[in-house]
Structure 1
């Protein structure tokens, strides 16, 4: 997509490990023990898996890519002394919500507790998206945009980003903004892209922060404003987006030399 493209979309993979602690909010608890009682295990794991699902939603909405989200979830499972297969098995048996369906799809997609199966992961994302779950809609849009687990289809990618955005997805707003910037599934509109980046960045999506900074730096969809560009590159860097480090340093050097 953009000049700083990562898959899926311009998000920092390099910063995923060092940003794990700031993204995590589940408190350490003692490992659960079923003592052979499946019902006890189901009841004991439910609040823990619910907490993982909430964390998953939060970090996706902040603009973390698939790889970074997977790193965070897998480290959390290890820290809590659970097994990835244990969580995967629980999710497989508890498909009673769009949230659980989406998380199970992500486990298939990234090979967490199960062999990688991107097609099955996409199918689960699509099921949850049709249930009007905004995170799943954003993931489906990513998949169609890059041909991940399904055939690439830019029109459907744009449609699902629209649905996600209208449904309140902060990350969906960012994705929709890029569609307008690059003309993916729609006519190009730099002004619409800028507005969507700004809306998403103000809700702390680190990918949108980076793209908003680029807009201000280059005068894309708005008046060129290096002070605002520095502000948003700095915010993106502080949020863990390593892509912002180099342009921020260059702009700071440029503005210092011009004084």
Structure 2
């Protein structure tokens, strides 16, 4: 939870103590980081949230980097310093130093440091790629209760990372001895020992176990893949109702692919009563994101022709433009040309319409030549 500056000022009036602006800044950034990682947000979005908060509190990224450096004796700030090095927050990007910071944080038992160290091993950032090392770091984080670590372990199993179940059991038993004999991991993550003690469990069943943990802990990526397991019957019997439930959970938190899947569930009646109007609403949510979206063209056509929604030519025009930019679909030039020719959602512009028609025709001719070269058949 991000703490507003006004709350600190109110507390200062009550206690009579001065408010340190750096405390406000650090509290906000730590809250953003922990909450975002727990939810499974993309790193790009976390960086954008950091920059927005730093700007709102009228300070600089360089000052933030210096604060992280001063507090790097604390495991969480070691991880944050690594994050700053990895994404150039207040300093130049240095993947090797990011890796070192994450490694130090992990060695000091910080679950977020373990997650980011795992990602370094997985993607070869600041070190050589090592899927085995990535698995162990994800596992340390996962059994400590970190949802992103749980999602990471599930992915490792799904992708077939060659880890023997007996090695996992031995690892956890060694850790339990260090924890004064208490079965600490079984308490924080029930069922984990039996998952690996039985060699009969498949990689999909182990992946399903961890995806369930991640989904239950609010990780939107985990919720999406957990739904996919139910939809396809991976590691569990098929269940369209539960697949729909978890797709919708993830979609409501802003996961674009989950929004698309939720739309298709409503459109096709999979796991829920068929409702094309609600389906349209989910497709529109997906289409508004500045990312590739297969449903964007269909949504634009619905707005233009008043199907499943009221007619809105302006929204149709804007979606066609987004389709050209983000989906890179050259055929949408025909639709944009029609908009300019007829004044649908934009002022009439015959010259622009002609220009777009010519552009569309050039693309069609290129496609025709490619098809003829590939199959020796003229498809037109």
TM-score, scaled relative to structure 2? 0.56
Larger radius of gyration: 2
Change (3 A) 1:145 1:208: same
User: What is the RMSD of the two structures over their aligned residues, measured on CA atoms?
Assistant: 2.4
Answering whether residue 197 of structure 2 is matched by residue 220 of structure 1, we say no
1:133 CA drift (Å): 0.4
Matched, 1:94 2:71: yes
Out of 203, 206, 211, the residue aligned to residue 197 of structure 1 is 211
Superimposed CA distance per residue, residues 141-171 of structure 1 (whole angstroms, 9 cap, x where no aligned partner): 1111111222110110111111111222111
Runs of 4+ in 1 over 4 A off after TM superposition: none
Using the alignment, how far apart are the partners of 2:226 and 2:135 within structure 1?
Answer: 20
1:217, 1:189 → 2: CA distance? Answer: 17
User: Shift in Å at residue 66 of structure 1?
Assistant: 1.6
Query: Alpha carbons of 1:238 and 1:191: their partners in 2 closer, same or farther (altered >3 Å)?
Result: same
Partners of 2:243 and 2:141 in 1: CA distance: 27
Larger deviation, residues 229-238 vs 51-60: 51-60
Q: Distance in 2 between matches of 1:230 and 1:52?
A: 34
Alpha-carbon distance in structure 2 between the residues aligned to 1:198 and 1:87: 36
Deviation at residue 116 of structure 1 after TM alignment? 1.1
* 1:74-95 Cα deviation digits (max 9, x unpaired): 1111111111111111221222
After superposing the two structures, state which structure 1 stretch, 184-193 or 231-240, moved more. 184-193
Q: Does 2:269 correspond to 1:250?
A: no
Q: Which has the higher helix share?
A: 2
The superposition leaves residues 34-65 of structure 1 with CA deviations (integer Å, 9 ceiling, x where unpaired) of xxxxxxxx954134313312321121111012
TM-score, normalization: structure 1?
Answer: 0.81
> 1:166 aligns to what?
143
Q: CA deviation at 1:29?
A: 4.9
Please report how far the alpha carbon of residue 248 of structure 1 lies from its aligned counterpart in structure 2 after TM superposition.
1.7
User: Number of aligned pairs?
Assistant: 227
Structure 2: 5+ residue runs without aligned partners? 10-18, 165-201, 276-380
Distance 1:160 1:84 in 2: 29
Question: Residue 237 of structure 2 aligns to a residue in which SS?
Answer: coil
Structure number with the bigger relative contact order (C-alpha 8 A, sep ≥ 6) is 1
Residue ranges of structure 1 left out of the alignment (5+ in a row):
1-23, 33-41
